Structure 1
C-alpha cells in the first residue's frame, strides 16, 4: 500500500522515493510486524485465557518429562494466529501487491495456518492433546503443496539464462571465426545478425584475429559484454533473416506471443536461445524448462530435471517442512527462534536471486520477482521476534499448530520460490535433525524393540539428560545459526 502511495505522491514529494526501495520496505515490514505483535499480544493472550484455550500436558509415556513440563499446563495456545495476522497486515502495508510471489507466500502461510488452527480448535473443544486426525492434518498439508506445485508448473517463477557467462562459451576461437565469416560475407545469416550489432572497434579487432589462435582475454571480455548488450535488442529476430535456423519449442512459444509483447527479461531469454541456435558449437545449450528442474548446490550448471514429478516434489517439501517445524515446537521459544533463523537465511537468498547481476556472479538461478520475498521474510522476522517476546521462557503463550504449520510451510515455500530447494536441508538443518530423531526412534523401536534416544524429538532427549529448557533452546538456536551460515556460504561455492 505504501509503495503505491509513494509512487503516486513522488512528483510532489520526491523524498518518498525511498519507500519504493526493497530494503527500506523490508525494514518497515520488520518494524511494523514487531510493533503490532507487542501491541496485540497482551490482548490476544488475555482473550485466549478467558476462553480457556490452554495447553494440555500429557501424563503418559515419560513421567520425568511430565514433571518438567507440568507447570506449562493451562498456558494459552493458538498464539500462531498472532504470527499469521501480523505478517499479513505488515505485508499489506509494505508489500508491492502486484507481485504474484508475495501473494503465493501469503496464501501458503494462511492455508497452513488454517490447518493448524483447525487442529488447535479441536484440541480446545475436546480438552485433550488430540486434534485433527493424522490423515486429516496430512490432507491439509498435501492439498496446500498440491495447489502450490500445480501453480509453479503452470506459472514458472524463472526461465533459463537470459545472459551469457564466460564459461558458457565452449570454443572462443571457433566463436570468433564464425563471427568473422559472418562479417566478411554479404549473405544473410543468423550469425550475421549478431555481427552487425557489435561495436565497430571490436569488429576490427576480431577481423585482425588470426584464425584458430587463442583469443586474448581482454577481447573475450569485450566480446562477452557486446553479446550481452545484443541480447537486450528486441529487434534481433526477423522471420526472414532467421529462416533456415533450427529453433526449439521455447523460442517458438515466445515468438507466437509476439516479440513486441515480451518484457526485457523474456526478450533477453529469446535472444540467448537464438544465439545458441546461430552458433551451436560455440555456446553451451542452456537448460530448458528450468522451472521444473532442481539446481544442485555447489555446481554451476547441474540441474536435476523432474518434469511433471516436480509437483510431487513440491508436495513433499511443504509437508516435510511443516511437520518438521511442528515436531520442533516443544520448548519455549525453540521453534519460533529456529524458524526466524531459517527464514532470515532464505530472505537473504531471495534478495540475491532477485538481482540479475548477483545471480549471474554467484551462478544461481535468477528469479526476477523474488525481491518481494525479501519483504515477506522481513515481515515474518518482525512478527516472529514480536511473538518470541511472549513465547520466551517461561512462555506466556504457545504458537500451537497454527504457528508451527504456517512457519514450516513458509520455509518450504521460500525454498521453492527462490529455486534453492536442495539447500533446504542445510538452511533448516535443525528441523531436519529433529524430524530424523523421530524417524530413527520409531524405526529402531519397531525393528529392534529398543530406543536410540531417551525420548524424541531430539530436544526432549537432552532435557532428560539434565539440560534445563533454556540451555537446550539456546544451544539449538546456535546450531540453527550455524546451519544457516553454512547454507549462505555455499552460494559462493560453485
Structure 2
C-alpha cells in the first residue's frame, strides 16, 4: 500500500509547475490543451499567484487547440493580452505581415539545402534540350542537371507561415491559397512527367489548360455566388465600417426626440427588433452576438415602404440612384427596389458606419483612371476570371527561363498587390481613392507578405548561378497567386501594369508565333523576350537585373494609377 503522506514530485510530462504548485495536465480523463504548457513560463511575468492561475485557466482548453480559424500566434496574443499588453501588437495586420514575410524567408533558408540535396539524390535535374538555336544551348548547357521543382520550397514555406500568422477564418485567404495550391499541383505533375520521361515535354497543352481552367472556374463560380464586395441590399457584417460609430448613432437616436434619419430608421423597426437593438447597440463594438442583433434590426427596416421622408432625406443628401427611386411612388416600386431605396437611405443616414454600395458590384470590373466607372459582366464574369488565371499563370511560366528572373519579378508583382490589398481593405482609403472597397482583403496583405518572404528565400538559392530552379511547380503557382490577388482585390484591370513584364514576355511569344505562321519570318531572335536579349549579347545577369528594373517601374506606375481618377 502506498503511503499517502509521501512527498512525490510530479513528472514534467504529466503536470506543470506554477508558483510551486503542481497543476495536472489531465482533468476528468481528457487531455488539457497543449497551450497550457506555456503557462509556467508566462506566470513569471505575473505580479501575483492569482493572476498566474487565472492565466493558466484561460489557456487551458479541453479542445486541445485554438478556436477554429485562428492562427496560433494571433490566438496566443489574444489570450495573453489582458496580462501582457504589449503582445497585442501580434493582432495587427502590419505586424503579422512583417512576421509572415520574415518567417517565410527563414523557412526557405531552413528547408532549402535539404530540399536541394534530396532533389539531387533523386536526380530531379533540369534537362537542357539541344534545339535549333545553337547559341542559346551553348549559353545554358552548363545548367543541365540543376535540381528543379523548387517551387515546392515556396509552397511549403508559405503554408507553414500562414498557419502561424494568417487568420484562417478569412475566406479570401482560403481562395488565394486554393488557387496557389491547385496550380502548384498542376505544375508539379507537369514537372514530374518531364523528369520521368527525361524530356522537356510534360503534361499535354490540353491537360495543363484543363487544370488552369478548372481552377479559374471554381474561383469564378464561388465569387458569383458569394460576393466579396459590399452588399447592395441586406446588410452583412462586412458592410459595416465602424461598429462604434454605428452604436453611437443608434444610442443618440434612441435617447433623443429630435427627428433625424437615424431616429426614423429606429422608429420603423418592429417592436421586438427595437428592444433587441437597444441592448445590442451598447455592446456592438465588442460583441459578435450584439452585432448580429443590430444588423437584424437594420435589415428589418429594408422592406418598409414608408421609410423615405423628403424632410429628413432632402435630394441634396441622396445619390442619383436614390433620387431616381425616391421620385417614384413608393407603392409602385417592386420589393427589390424598395429594399434598395431603404438601403441607400440607411447609408445616407449612417455614412460613418455603413459602406456605400453599388448593385452587382461583384460581377463588375472597375476601370482604372475613371471614377465609379465599371464594366458589367454579369455571369460572364466567370469567363473573365478563367481568362485571368490562365493568362497570368502561363505568362509567369514563360518568363521562367533565366536565373532569378521569374522569382524576382513575381515578388515585385506580389508585393504590389499586397499593398493594394491593404488599401482596398480600408473603407476610408477606398473612398478617398475611389477604388472598390473589399472588406475582407486585409488577409491578402498577409498572404502577399508570406509569398514575398518565401519568394526572396527561394531567390537566395535561385540567384545566378542557380542552385535550384522553381519549375512549373513554382511558376504556375506564383502566376496563379498574382492572378488571384488581382481578382480578389477587384483590381483586375491593373494587371497589365502590375504584371506588365509578364505581359511583355507572353506578347513576344504570341507575336513571334503569329508572324512566323503568317509571313514565315521571326520578329525576335528568339521568344520569350529574355532569350532575344541573351542572343543580342546581354549577359544573363544583365537581362535579369534590367527586367527587374522594368517590373519595379511598372509597379510604381500601378500605385500612381490608383490615385488618378
Q: Following TM superposition, by how much is the alpha carbon of 1:13 offset from its aligned partner in structure 2, in angstroms? A: 2.1
Q: Show the counterpart of 2:107.
A: 36
Q: Show the counterpart of 1:301.
A: 372
**Of 226, 236, 261, which aligns to 1:194?**
261
**Of 166, 171, 175, which aligns to 1:104?**
175
Q: Show the counterpart of 1:271.
A: 343
How far apart are the structure 2 equivalents of 1:369 and 1:379?
17
Q: Following TM superposition, by how much is the alpha carbon of 1:8 offset from its aligned partner in structure 2, in angstroms? A: 2.2
Deviations 1:201-245 (A, max 9, x none): xxxxxxxxxxxxxxxxxxxxxxxxxxxxxx999386573633963
Deviations 1:130-185 (A, max 9, x none): 110010011000000000000111111103689xxxxxxxxxxxxxxxxxxxxxxx
1:3-82 equivalences under 5 Å are: 3-82=74-153
Q: Which segments of 5 or more consecutive residues in structure 1 lack a partner in the other structure?
A: 163-191, 199-230, 255-268, 278-284
1:79/1:397 contact within 8 Å kept: yes
CA RMSD of aligned residues (A): 2.5
1:159/1:289 contact within 8 Å kept: no
Deviations 1:107-127 (A, max 9, x none): 110000000000000011101
Query: CA 1:418–1:240 in 2, change beyond 3 Å: closer, same or farther?
Result: closer
Q: Following TM superposition, by how much is the alpha carbon of 1:271 offset from its aligned partner in structure 2, in angstroms? A: 3.1
Q: Show the counterpart of 2:414.
A: 343
How far apart are the structure 2 equivalents of 1:106 and 1:60?
37
Q: Following TM superposition, by how much is the alpha carbon of 1:3 offset from its aligned partner in structure 2, in angstroms? A: 1.0
Q: Show the counterpart of 2:287.
A: none
Deviations 1:379-401 (A, max 9, x none): 00000000000000000000000
1:410-489 equivalences under 5 Å are: 410-489=481-560
Q: Following TM superposition, by how much is the alpha carbon of 1:196 offset from its aligned partner in structure 2, in angstroms? A: 5.8
SS where residue 562 of structure 2 aligns? coil
Q: Show the counterpart of 1:262.
A: none
Q: Following TM superposition, by how much is the alpha carbon of 1:88 offset from its aligned partner in structure 2, in angstroms? A: 1.2
SS where residue 294 of structure 1 aligns? strand
**Of 353, 356, 363, which aligns to 1:292?**
363
Q: Following TM superposition, by how much is the alpha carbon of 1:92 offset from its aligned partner in structure 2, in angstroms? A: 1.1
TM-score, normalisation: structure 2: 0.70
Which of structures 1 and 2 has the larger relative contact order (alpha carbons within 8 angstroms, sep 6+)?
1
SS where residue 98 of structure 1 aligns? coil
My pick for the range that moved more, 334-343 or 235-244, is 235-244
How far apart are the structure 2 equivalents of 1:233 and 1:291?
25
Q: Show the counterpart of 1:220.
A: none
SS where residue 53 of structure 1 aligns? coil
After superposing on structure 2, the runs of 4+ consecutive aligned residues of structure 1 that deviate more than 4 Å are 195-198, 235-238, 246-254, 273-277
**Of 465, 482, 485, which aligns to 1:394?**
465
**Of 271, 288, 307, which aligns to 1:242?**
307
Deviations 1:14-33 (A, max 9, x none): 22210110000000000000
How far apart are the structure 1 equivalents of 2:89 and 2:95?
7
May I ask how many residue pairs the two structures share in their alignment? 412
Q: Show the counterpart of 1:116.
A: 187
How far apart are the structure 1 equivalents of 2:168 and 2:306?
41
SS where residue 375 of structure 2 aligns? strand
How far apart are the structure 2 equivalents of 1:360 and 1:232?
26
Q: Which segments of 5 or more consecutive residues in structure 2 lack a partner in the other structure?
A: 1-70, 234-258, 266-294, 309-328, 350-355
Q: Show the counterpart of 1:224.
A: none
How far apart are the structure 1 equivalents of 2:79 and 2:334?
43
SS where residue 365 of structure 2 aligns? strand
Query: CA 1:61–1:151 in 2, change beyond 3 Å: closer, same or farther?
Result: same
1:193/1:236 contact within 8 Å kept: no
1:294/1:422 contact within 8 Å kept: yes
Q: Following TM superposition, by how much is the alpha carbon of 1:12 offset from its aligned partner in structure 2, in angstroms? A: 2.3
Deviations 1:179-198 (A, max 9, x none): xxxxxxxxxxxxx8628679
Q: Show the counterpart of 1:83.
A: 154
SS where residue 304 of structure 1 aligns? strand
1:76/1:396 contact within 8 Å kept: yes
Query: CA 1:13–1:446 in 2, change beyond 3 Å: closer, same or farther?
Result: same
1:232/1:271 contact within 8 Å kept: no
1:333/1:391 contact within 8 Å kept: yes
Match status 1:325 vs 2:403: no
1:355/1:368 contact within 8 Å kept: yes
Query: CA 1:342–1:394 in 2, change beyond 3 Å: closer, same or farther?
Result: same
Query: CA 1:306–1:74 in 2, change beyond 3 Å: closer, same or farther?
Result: same
2:303/2:335 contact within 8 Å kept: no
